[in-house]
Amino acid sequence: MRIAVIFHRFGPYHCARLDAASRYCDITGIETAAETRESTWSPVHDASGYSRLTLFPAGGTGAMPAEHMSAHVRRALQSCSPDVVAIPGWSDNAAIAALRSCAETGIPAILMSESTTLDKPRVRWREWIKQRIVDLYSTALVGGQRHIDYLVDLGMPRDRIFTGYDVVDNDYFAWKANEVRGQKKEVRRKYGLPKNYFLASARFIEKKNLFTLIRGYAGYRHAAANSELRTSNSEPWVLVLLGDGPLKSDLCRLIADLRLDSSVLLPGFKQYDELPFYYGLANAFVHASTTEQWGLVVNEAVASALPVIVSNRCGCVPELVQDNGFTFDPTNKRDLASRLFEIASLSEEKREGLGQASRRIAANFGSESFGQGLEHAGRMAIELPPKKLGALKRALLFGAMR
């Protein structure tokens, strides 16, 4: 079975998934643009297990006319002659162009989605349009239960929805984190890392809720400083916050205002090969987003055997946060502070138990899950009757391209 899989830009996560999928199917990965403003990952050129096409190597797709995009997508699909096409969502021109091409040629399409009902307030007329577009997909590949529920609300039959979309290369993070733990002194010295710290990793943008994270952390430090449990060897943990973005200067001001300059470290954005140095020596991982369709950084943390503290708004919570940590209300800094304090107050043995629980959970969310889910979705899509593109849906697809 030949499957074309479309992503906007290939990063380490996409390449790991495609490589895993190539063990189950004949895969062609189609990258819309090699350069984007949103992504700061270094280019990944390895495509050992699959074929790779890049529509626009120089990027610049933002203001591209819809028909120009459609022509490139159509030619790419014709060149690889897939039996099925896996398409990321319904919100950008490349995805809509691919869906329209599939509907016009009778090639079944798999919807790759991580949208949930909680992402944003839903508007009835927009959901009506979305339902008609989703109906043109034969099957779907999603991350977890919240994504399944939303697609069912949009009319996708539950038995046509498969999981495995939101995964990372678990073996990479597990092996590298263990390697780092075997050389703690050298790594701490090289990267300036403290003995005990919470780790967070996010773009510095509004939905990542980093102001609440820092305020909640300040509350934790206040509680820890006044706790009867404190000893001379149990100073409050540091917060190491990886990432960069437009809110950095505002975050730095807040850190200064709260007098946390020596307690909140901002090492900057880190590339894929540097991340295990930070995961490997962290005591726990925290993710505070108010809106998060999934949260792949949580995958990385559980694969690295860390206890986790995750916002209950994150799509990954039902699957990745169980007996390995806690959830919290991201609008409540006191709730977050209490969870940070709770984790930090545990014995090393109990934290180790949470970390081992993370490792067990991660075993079900490796890259191979993407390959298996994609194969199942593809085989069912081929068996189902072809979708029909009537005048209304054709007009909706045309209108969706902007």
Asked if 295 and 314 touch (Cβ cutoff 8 Å), the reply is: yes
How large is the C-alpha radius of gyration of the chain? 22
Q: Where are the domains positioned within the chain? A: 2-167+366-400, 170-362
Let me know how many helices (H) and strands (E) the chain has, helices first: 16, 13
290, 207 contact by CB (below 8 A)? yes
The tokens describing 382, both together, are: 């081929």
Residue of 114, 120, 122 lying closest to 147 (CA atoms): 114
What is the β-pairing status of strands 238-242 and 109-113?
unpaired
Do the first three CATH levels of 2-167+366-400 and 170-362 match, i.e. the same topology? yes
- Per residue of the chain (402 residues), give pLDDT as tens: 999 999 998 989 999 999 999 999 999 999 998 876 665 667 776 667 899 999 998 776 666 777 888 999 999 999 999 999 999 999 889 999 999 999 999 999 999 999 999 898 999 999 999 999 999 999 999 999 999 999 999 999 999 999 999 999 999 999 999 999 999 999 999 999 999 999 999 999 999 999 999 999 999 999 998 876 554 447 899 999 999 999 999 999 999 999 999 999 999 999 999 999 999 999 999 999 999 999 999 999 999 999 999 999 999 999 999 999 999 999 999 999 999 999 999 999 999 999 999 999 999 999 999 999 999 999 999 999 999 888 888 888 888 876
- Residues with Cβ within 8 Å of 307's Cβ and at least 6 positions away in sequence, in order, are 283, 284, 285, 324, 325, 343, 351, 354, 355, 358
Q: With helix as H, strand as E and coil as C, how does 330-345 read?
A: CCCHHHHHHHHHHHHH
Query: Which CATH superfamily includes the segment(s) 2-167+366-400?
Result: Glycogen Phosphorylase B; (3.40.50.2000)
CATH number of this structure's domain 170-362: 3.40.50.2000
Total-model pTM: 0.93
